Amino acid sequence: MQRERIVPINIEDEMRDSYIDYSMSVIVSRALPDVRDGLKPVHRRVLFGMSELGLQAGRAYKKSARVVGEVLGKYHPHGDTAVYDTIVRMVQDFSLRYPLVDGQGNFGSIDGDAPAAMRYTEVRLMKIASEMLKDLEKNTVDFTPNFDDSLEEPTVMPSAFPNLLVNGSSGIAVGMATNIPPHNLSEVIDGLVAYIDNPDITIEQLMKHVKAPDFPTAGLIYGYDGVKEAYLTGRGKLTIRAKVNIEVNPKNDRETIVVTELPYQVNKARLQERIAELVNEKKIEGISDVRDESDRDGMRLMIHLKKDAVTKVVLNNLFKYTQMQETFGVIMLALVDGQPRILNLKEMMKYYIEHRHEVVIRRTKFDLAEAEKRAHILEGLKICLDNLDEVIQTIRKAADGDTARERLMSKFKLSEIQAKAVLDMRLQRLTGLERQKIEDEYKEVIKTIEQLNAILGSEKLQYKIIKDEFKQIKKDYGDERRTEIVYETTELSLESMIKEEDVVITITHEGFIKRIRVNDYRRQGRGGKGVAGAATKDEDFVEHMFIASTHHYILFFTTFGKCYWLKVHEIPEAGRAARGRSLNNLMELESGEKIRAYINVKEFSESLYVVMATKNGMIKKTALSEYSNPRKTGIIAVNIEKGDELIEAKLTDGSHQIVLAKNSGYAVRFMESDVRPMGRSATGVKGAEVEKGEEVVSMVTTRRNDITLLTITDSGYGKRSDLEEYRMTKRGAAGVITLKANEKVGNLVAMIEVADTDDLILITKNGIVNRQHVSDIRVMGRNTSGVRLIRLQEGDAVSAVARVPKEEDDEGSEDTKATNGKA
């Protein structure tokens, strides 16, 4: 009985060695492409197997299952699914920039539909794939035994075009991965020709020809820094966006975002589902419906918008939250002499051109050897034809073929090959015409040999042939670039896509907000009835109205002493009579929390302050920069004591005068320097003495003395008074009279700074809007009741006031450029 021989080994060594063997097998034989032909072994075997089956372009299709069986049985001893999946991808025009296999049947779609089973589909090679295999029979590449040593397969394809750059490649090996984007064939050919003309060419110069990747699904490449980095270092990140058009429905004026091109490898059906999920989760507002209307004429993913939606805001959110914007991480890793290497653009071209140079030399040597063999045979035929009678006599006297061959070799000094060719020659070749053909062919072959020797002796000629073949490939298969390049060095900001213009912002008592173009309001004379300005429910009315730029930010201050941050262009635009959008959809307000003040700012400067006042007369100053990073749920702006609430917030530079107006018709004026800066969570200090039944309703901040203050009552009365009529006091005083309040005039609801060139907008609880010139309102003393500014219906009252400057950018009053009126 034979004894088993057991050899003990260290398990750590065995695991390490085995894993290294496995890793190298995956790297070299499965996951990474060869820099010369851009193919992994499975792709190479599929193309070779199809070629061996005679499935050239233009010939009949064969079942995919037949091809899979051929490849599995002869070259690729792995799963049939892996081979068929490879074939499917080589067919898909949305996966490869230049498909290598021509398919008949269902090979899947950009929606992620699965291909039909291999028994149903049929395939053959594309014409461009024949260029990969061209001259394979001329010993242009090395062959190696297949897995069972029964056949041979090529180690690399001759590849007459740069497949690695043109079609790209992706794969995950062990400890490394490759992700090479596809490119435009014409551009790559131009780059290769430029490289051959100048081997010292820089990558930057090559990039004038090879501008950027060119994806089969088109789309847009946003920003060029990632492209440049990838070409220079072999690694980089590309931002790819979907291409969209904005269409307007003439029936209802609603806009639709039409997606016509997607980023590479994005599944259209999953994208549609993702958009629907985000809409349901309210992460993207303004979309009413998403429909796929794609057909054979092209892609049309229709994203229908609501009437009050801001198209550019919706589009920006789609780019931010969905695959309509994707990052393509470039890793230009390929096998060079069997070793994985990260390559830049120039190195990729260098190794490919070296490969083509070797192919041309080996092909020329093969053609030369064949030509020399033919010349040798023709020389023998010529000798025999020149001595025809003797040759015939020699053959007739010979006992058998071997004797005839030996006698011909001996008598006419022929080689064995020549003697065999003479014996195999047909009798019709002995005619005069055929003899002349042999003479002509011999001269042509000698000429060919001279040309081939000249090629082998001249590197310049060799590269000229390579260039000419490249140019022919470009002529036969080149096309226009599909992916558009947007040469941006930084991320495109949303503000840069939005027109900067002044708008009126209105907020109702129930918390509905909208923006309206200033020009939608027409001027009226003092005492006019006004026009409908906002559709409100019976119990709702407009509380706030102010002017802002679409490029500004708005800080909202609430009754809870919190601050919220919102961009003006994110506020839905609506018609003058529309109700607007609930603030709860734009900001996460707490139950019972209401907006009480706002600040409109362009940037968060370190030198500016937020001054806040409460109805109980408290005042506080905090640096604006402390509000630059608010959360969606808001941040603390001021600590509000029980029974108090915030009524106003203004932007200042630390040197303003402050006027606090009370509903009783009294106002107190003091310097901002009397209030020291405090943190966001502080309560503040007393700004005005408030008696029982009194409350502060307005705050004005200014750096000038020559301004006029407009005071308005809830009954629609108002007047203008010079600031200088209000004597300066210390903060905490009871103040001086600013308007003689009584039952007819009503209580003071607002005090704002105005100029003669301004317009005044009044809005009532019933939604009536009145616009008039400030210059039509008389300047009167403090101790007067004013004049009627608007005629009110019974039960109606003024609820909001805003000043509309002639030019929002006028230098006049600097503080009013940053903050606007409040009721």
Catalytic residue ranges = 120
Contact indicator for 162, 16 with CB cutoff of 8 Å? no
Residue 275 CA to residue 453 CA, distance in Å, equals 65
* Residue reference for tokens 């096309």: 479
Element (DSSP H or E) covering residue 331: strand 325-331
Q: Give residue 348's identity as a one-letter amino acid code.
A: M
Pairing of strands 484-486, 220-222: parallel
Contact indicator for 169, 40 with CB cutoff of 8 Å? yes
Q: Is 336 helix (H, G, I), strand (E, B) or coil?
A: strand
* Positive or negative torsion for Cα 712, 718, 722, 724: negative
Would you tell me how many other CB atoms lie within 10 Å of the CB of residue 207?
Answer: 18
Tokens of 294: 């794609």
Please state the three-class secondary structure of 81-103 as a single string: HHHHHHHHHHHCCCCCCCCCEEE
Backbone angles phi and psi of 72, in degrees to 5:
-65, -45
What is the DSSP code string of 30-75?
A: IIS-BTTT---HHHHHHHHHHHHTT--TTS--EEHHHHHHHHHHHT
Inter-residue long-range contacts of 620-623, CB under 8 Å, 24+ positions, other chains counted: 620/675, 620/678, 620/682, 620/683, 620/684, 620/685, 621/652, 621/654, 621/672, 621/675, 621/676, 621/677, 621/678, 622/677, 622/678, 622/679, 622/680, 622/682, 623/677
Strand order in the sheet with 787-788: 748-754, 708-713, 717-722, 787-788
Pairing of strands 301-305, 287-292: antiparallel
Give every CB contact of residue 32 below 8 A, 6+ residues apart in sequence: 40, 171, 173, 176, 178, 333, 334, 335, 340
Give every CB contact of residue 733 below 8 A, 6+ residues apart in sequence: 668, 670, 688, 689
Contact indicator for 585, 285 with CB cutoff of 8 Å? yes
- How far is C-alpha 186 from the geometric centre of its chain's CA atoms? 24
Q: Give residue 331's identity as a one-letter amino acid code.
A: I
Residue 784 CA to residue 631 CA, distance in Å, equals 46
Angle between helices 311-321 and 268-280 (to 10 degrees): 120
Contact indicator for 638, 612 with CB cutoff of 8 Å? yes
Residue 791 CA to residue 785 CA, distance in Å, equals 16
Q: How far is CA 251 from CA 255, 256, 575, in A?
A: 11, 13, 17
Q: Is 695 helix (H, G, I), strand (E, B) or coil?
A: coil
**Beta strand segments in 122-234, E:** 122-125, 143-145, 152-154, 169-172, 177-180, 220-222
Q: Give residue 191's identity as a one-letter amino acid code.
A: G
Q: Of 486, 608, 543, 585, which is closest to residue 242 (Cα–Cα)? A: 486
Instruction: Give first-to-last CA distance, the chain, whole Å.
Output: 108
Q: Of 628, 680, 677, which is closest to residue 655 (Cα–Cα)? A: 677
- How far is C-alpha 759 from the geometric centre of its chain's CA atoms? 44
- How far is C-alpha 145 from the geometric centre of its chain's CA atoms? 46
Contact indicator for 228, 238 with CB cutoff of 8 Å? no
